[in-house]
Amino acid sequence: MNTRDRFISINGLRLHYLEWGAASAPPVVLLHGGSANAHWWSRLAAALEDTYRVLALDLRGHGDSEHPESAAYRVDDYAGDVDAFFDALGVDRIDLIGHSLGGLIATEYAGRAPERINSLVVVDTELRVGASGARYMARLRNFPHPRYPDREHAIKRFRLLPTATNADPTVLADIAAHSIVELPDGRWTLKFNRDSLAHVEVQDLTEILTRLTCPILLVRGAHSALLSHAALAGLLARVPHAEGAEIAGAHHHVMLDNPTEFARVVRAFLDRHPRQTSARKGQRRSRGS
């Protein structure tokens, strides 16, 4: 597996992304959830890189991407970064996959630019955010960022958000190692801006899915507390051209809890909807490094 670290400057921010596969292959873009980062997708990328150009973006304020000076962390802000990212790379039609917050962003962007979406995969995402959900996220922002005396303690104490998981301990340790950063005083903390948690707005993006004509796959973890079986069934009833899948043994963090089954389902879906990749002539070229 050949993982390539890249950086690109868009919308006044230096954003980090990971890339796998041949540059000439059809592009698949992965958007992680809140408080996560691009490395969450490594196991899916390993299952796709032989056929696809896999691009996993660190959202603004997450992972190794820069934090905006103002608290610009609304879904619309992230979708603007995704649009600029595609333009900068010169990609045309893409397969877009988003988990949790990334699922909201992917759906918003697909509604904004449907002509660029070959297929859409939305993973364990509740597309309706009510007032109580928005208040809960705002409260999370007020919790202090943890501080650990050294890297070993930071990895040992690392927890997912939400915490329920069936992930292998080696997978969690790997995720933890890519999710912490050393502070100037030698202590360690989590590698995301807590302000990003406070800007989830009351919204319902379900209607966007009803307007899309591209292939859609809606995925949930079979044990997910965020997206229930009934909620997935309700989405599929409203979007009859979409496909649905439940990943056995998985909670919210589907790609970590059962990476093999998740990759099998996603790969099969992508392979059923192939297309030729093309670059947009005259677009800005990538400033990645």
Q: Give 196-232 pLDDT, tens digit per residue.
A: 886 677 789 999 999 999 999 999 999 999 999 999 9
User: Can you give the pTM of this predicted structure?
Assistant: 0.93
Q: What would the pLDDT profile of 33-68 be if each residue is shown by its tens digit?
A: 999 999 999 999 999 999 999 999 999 999 999 999
pLDDT of 281 over the 60 cut: no
198 neighbors 73 (Cβ within 8 angstroms): yes
pLDDT digits (tens, 9 = 90+) for 64-105: 999 998 889 999 999 999 999 999 999 989 999 999 999 999
Written as one string, the DSSP assignment of 210-249 is HH--S-EEEEEETT-SSS-HHHHHHHHHHSTT-EEEEETT
- Tokens describing residue 45: 């990328």
> Can you tell me the mean pLDDT for 116-130?
94
User: What whole-number distance in Å separates Cα of residue 231 and Cα of residue 147?
Assistant: 37
The reported pLDDT for the residue numbered 8 is 97
Any idea what DSSP says for residue 188? Answer: E
Domains of the chain: 4-272 (3.40.50.1820)
Rg (Cα) of the chain, in Å, rounded? 18
Distance from CA of residue 39 to its chain's centroid?
10
Instruction: Give me the percent of the chain exceeding a pLDDT of 70.
Output: 94
What are 101's two structure tokens? 């917050």
Note the pLDDT of residue 196.
87
Average pLDDT over residues 119-136: 86
Give dist(CA 124, CA 207) in Å, integer.
17
The predicted structure's pLDDT at residue 143: 83
Rounded Cα gap, residues 95 and 40, in angstroms: 18
Is 253's pLDDT higher than 90?
Answer: yes
The answer to whether residues 103 and 122 touch, using CB atoms and an 8 Å cutoff, is: yes
The pLDDT assigned to 67 comes to: 95
Residue 284 pLDDT exceeds 50: no
The listed range with the strongest mean pLDDT (161-175, 190-204, 269-283) is 161-175
Centre a 10 Å sphere on the Cβ of residue 133 and count the other Cβ atoms it contains: 16
What is the overall mean pLDDT for the chain? 92
pLDDT score, position 199: 67
Residue 289 clears pLDDT 90, i.e. is over it? no
Average pLDDT of span 173-188? 97
